[in-house]
Structure 1
Amino acid sequence: MYVRHLTVADFRSWELVEVPLQQGVNVLVGRNGVGKTNLVEAVGYLATLASHRVSTDQALIRRGREQAMIRAAVVSQERELLLEIDITAGRANKARINRSPVTRARDILGVVRTVLFAPEDLALVRGDPSERRKFMDELLVMRTPRLAGVRSDYERILKQRNTLLKTSGVARRSGRTPDLSTLDVWDDHLAAVGAELIVQRRELVAALQPHVIAAYAELAPASEPIDLLYRSTVLDGPGDVSGYGTEPGLPGDAPIEQVRAAMVERLQERRSAELERGVSLVGPHRDELELTLGSGPARGYASHGESWSFALALRLGSFALLRTDGVDPVLVLDDVFAELDTGRRDQLAALIADAEQVLITAAVDSDVPAVLGGTRIRIADGQVST
């Protein structure tokens, strides 16, 4: 899979720009602030309908405009598709495939696959659990686009259940008896959707784990070994106040119905605490992708170099896993090589050399190992030249 041509209009700093791209390595070269990252961000947005830099779409629209547009000609398995998406402030985005509108913007998910690594990815190692949950879910949707709907349904049900917990908790503290039969219904709804997310994440982490470990060993051969584990408020069984079990939990191959039943049971166990706090304490929204370095947690203990290599290994492992599905994703490396020493630059170059398409941003040519070769795209003064 590769992007043959990219067009953006009123996206970030760009009023209008056309960027021809090639198979193999494409290096976008230009000083800081000229808009290199904005271009690869646009490619990533087509794949995930989200930015790796901001949480809302408003910041993606050029100042003074109400709408941005991204268009890309994507070649996959000898077939070319034209993807377009309009990002509109305060309204639902609209998408088209080969000029034909799709019912929902998320219907374009899976048409183009990308794996994007950027400096912000240090948060995967050093940040809150929500960063790692987002990482898992975006990779899940990349592999199985229908899970975008499952994830959306879960968030909707969770919001409604939390509202009910707050009102019931207020009633209980006021001496009134809340109607908890309604809460039982929402428990069932939440568990039905949540169990699917949990099972999918569990299987994803099991498949991803060897690829990440191998990538880290290549990038940092002198470092302690790493590992990753899915910690679940449901799978791990009852335990301490964090919700992660200290007692034996479900077997690793527990079927979805068993996970659903276990989630309902955990919700009932934590109900008193949930009513007190007014939030749901059990489910995939509370789970964690635990990263370890040596015998301890990577978060808070890994050095800057180890954290950088770990985050990069998570992305390279994702790239390797997606390749097993039969189609190479587009690999995007945003300002990566400048952060690596010569040895790790060479190791990274060797790992990505056979990718069908790589998009790299760099301030200067010398940051990118010469062995990668490829096409150089110069960006300066609002102009793009190959």
Structure 2
Amino acid sequence: MHVTHLSLADFRSYARVEVPLAPGVTAFVGANGQGKTNLVEAIGYLATLGSHRVSSDAPLVRMGADRAVIRAAVTQGERSQLVELELNPGRANRARINRSSQVRPRDVVGIIRTVLFAPEDLSLVKGDPGERRRFLDELVTARSPRMAGVRSDYDRVLRQRNTLLKSAAMARRHGGRGMDLSTLDVWDQHLARVGAELLAQRVDLIAVLQPLADKAYEQLAPGGGPVALEYRSSSAVSAGESGESFGGDSSGGGAHTRDELYERLLAALAGVRKQEIERGVTLAGPHRDDMVLKLGQLPAKGYASHGECWSFALALRLASYDLLRAEGNEPVLVLDDVFAELDARRRERLAELVAPGEQVLVTAAVDDDVPGVLAGARFVVADGAVERV
């Protein structure tokens, strides 16, 4: 799969830009602040319905405009599609596929699949659990686009349950009579049902990702492993259990059906209900889980060196790429200003590993930041223009 054309209108710094693309390596070279990352960010948004740089859509719309449009032509085998998203901060976004307007934004998920390498990837290892949950959920959705709907349903139920809990907490603090919380049991069931599906997908993902991540780490840093991925579930702790982890090398994922995970989540919610009503927030569920990354026997976070953390983060991205490619739809590889962050050894190893990709998009401040093995098309990005050289 590859993108053959990218069109932007009022997206970030671009009033309008048209960029023809082709299989193989394409590099966008330009000084910082010229807009090269904006191009690959747009492609990533079509793949994930989110940006790797900001958490809301407002910064994506050019100053003075009220909306932005991202449009891309995509080819997979003999099939070509045109996918378009209209970003409307404060209002519902709109989507079109092959000029049809009768689609939801989440319907475009899966048409383009990307694996992104960026300086922000270091937070996968060093950052908080939310970074690792996002990594898992985006990869889960890339594997199975229907999970975009499951994630949306979970977020909706969580918001509504939190609203009820917050109202109850405020009533207690102000000395009012206790609220009727009879509906909380219903919300528990909704949250547990959707949460069990998300939890099962995450655990299954870690099981298949584990050996690929270990292999990728060995390729990037020979002799430096092994690495291990473990899923740390908040529901076990909340239910008064020992804090069970689901590891990539264990049978934990297969031993728990969705019905069993549903019951575990229900038990966890029941176990923390008193605290939830006091604090006004949901304290158990996939939104509070984590993926623990281990290098050898120790957690990478807090123990691994800076270089080891980089190798681990890159290994997770390479493992993602290998997994998606093995499942039949090779993703677009995006390397956003990542080579400038790496030492010479990691730079060359990463470049050699990704060079065979069907489509590789690279951004760099200067030509010298692009390893020679990634020879291909070059665009210069400057003053709002993108020109082929």
CA deviations 1:238-284 (Å, max 9, x no partner) are: 448xx9359xxx94321101111121112111222222222111110
Residue 224 of structure 2: aligned partner: 223
Q: 2:289, 2:147 → 1: CA distance?
A: 17
* Whole-angstrom CA distance in 1 between matches of 2:176 and 2:86: 51
1:235-250 map, 5 Å: 238-239=239-240, 244-245=243-244
In the superposition, relative to structure 1, how do residues 171 and 29 fare at CA in structure 2: closer, same or farther (>3 Å)? Answer: closer
Percent of aligned pairs sharing the same letter = 60
Match for residue 347 of structure 1?
349
Equivalent of 1:267 in 254, 266, 269:
269
Structure 2 vs 1, CA of residues 81 and 24 (structure 1 numbering), >3 Å: closer, same or farther? same
Aligned residue type for 2:384: G
Aligned counterpart for 2:281 among listed residues 279, 282, 287: 279
Return the offset for 1:70: 1.1
Structure 1 segment 149-298 matched on structure 2, within 5 A = 149-171=149-171, 174=175, 176-234=177-235, 238-239=239-240, 244-245=243-244, 251-253=252-254, 254-298=256-300
* Alignment TM-score, normalising by the size of structure 1: 0.93
Mapped to 1, the partners of 2:237 and 2:74 lie a distance apart of: 42
Return the alpha-carbon distance in structure 2 between the equivalents of residues 245 and 178 of structure 1. 34
Q: Distance in 2 between matches of 1:235 and 1:324?
A: 33
How far apart, CA to CA, are the structure 2 residues paired with 1:327 and 1:23? 14
The answer as to whether partners of 1:239 and 1:245 remain within 8 angstroms in 2 is: no
User: For 2:51, what is the secondary structure of its paired residue?
Assistant: coil
1:206-236 deviation digits (Å, cap 9, x = unpaired)? 1111111211111122434321111112357
The one-letter code sitting in structure 1 at the alignment partner of 2:387 is S
Q: Where do 1:91-110 residues align within 5 Å?
A: 91-110=91-110
In structure 2, C-alpha distance between the alignment counterparts of 1:314 and 1:166, rounded to whole Å: 37
CA distance in 2, matches of 1:87, 1:171: 38
Kept in 1: contact 2:239–2:269 (CA 8 A): no
In the alignment, the residues of structure 2 paired with residue 263 and residue 383 of structure 1 have an alpha-carbon distance, to the nearest angstrom, of 52
1:89: how far off? 2.6
For residues 289 and 364 of structure 1, do their structure 2 counterparts lie closer, same or farther at Cα, with a shift above 3 Å needed?
A: same
Matched residue SS, 1:299:
coil
Secondary structure at the counterpart of residue 4 of structure 2: strand
- 346, 356, 366: which is aligned to 2:368? 366
- Unaligned stretches of 5+ residues in structure 2: 246-250
RMSD: 2.1
TM-score, length-scaled by structure 2: 0.93
- Quote how far apart the aligned CAs of 1:164 are: 2.1
Are 1:64 and 2:64 counterparts?
yes
Write out per-residue CA displacement over residues 103-144 of structure 1, whole angstroms, 9 at most, x where no aligned residue.
Answer: 311111101101111111211111111111111111111111
Matched, 1:79 2:84: no
| Partner SS, residue 37 of structure 1 | helix
Inter-partner Cα distance in structure 2 for 1:215 and 1:224: 10
Question: Within 2, Cα distance between the matches of 1:286 and 1:54?
Answer: 21
Question: Structure 2: which amino acid aligns with 1:288?
Answer: D
Instruction: Name the SS for the 1:102 alignment partner.
Output: strand
CA distance in 1, matches of 2:38, 2:307: 26
Equivalent residue for 1:299? 301
Between the aligned partners of 1:340 and 1:177, the Cα distance in structure 2 is 57
Would you say the 8 A contact 2:72–2:84 is kept in 1? yes
Q: Deviations over 1:74-96 (max 9, x none)?
A: 11122111111111232111111
Instruction: Write the distance in 2 (CA, Å) between the matches of 1:207 and 1:329.
Output: 17
Once the two structures are TM-superposed, the CA of residue 102 in structure 1 deviates from its matched residue by 3.2
Q: Are 2:217 and 2:225, in contact at CA under 8 Å, matched by a contact in 1?
A: no
Are the equivalent residues in 2 in contact too, given 1:237–1:245 (CA < 8 A)? no
SS at match of 2:267: helix
Q: Determine the C-alpha separation between the residues in 1 that align with 2:159 and 2:86.
A: 28
Deviations 1:36-67 (A, max 9, x none): 10000011011111110000101001111111
Deviates more, 1:5-14 or 1:294-303: 294-303
Shift of 1:184: 1.5
5+ residue gaps in structure 1?
none
**Deviation of 1:18 (Å):** 1.1
SS, match of residue 65 in structure 1:
coil
Q: Give the AA of the match of 1:158.
A: L
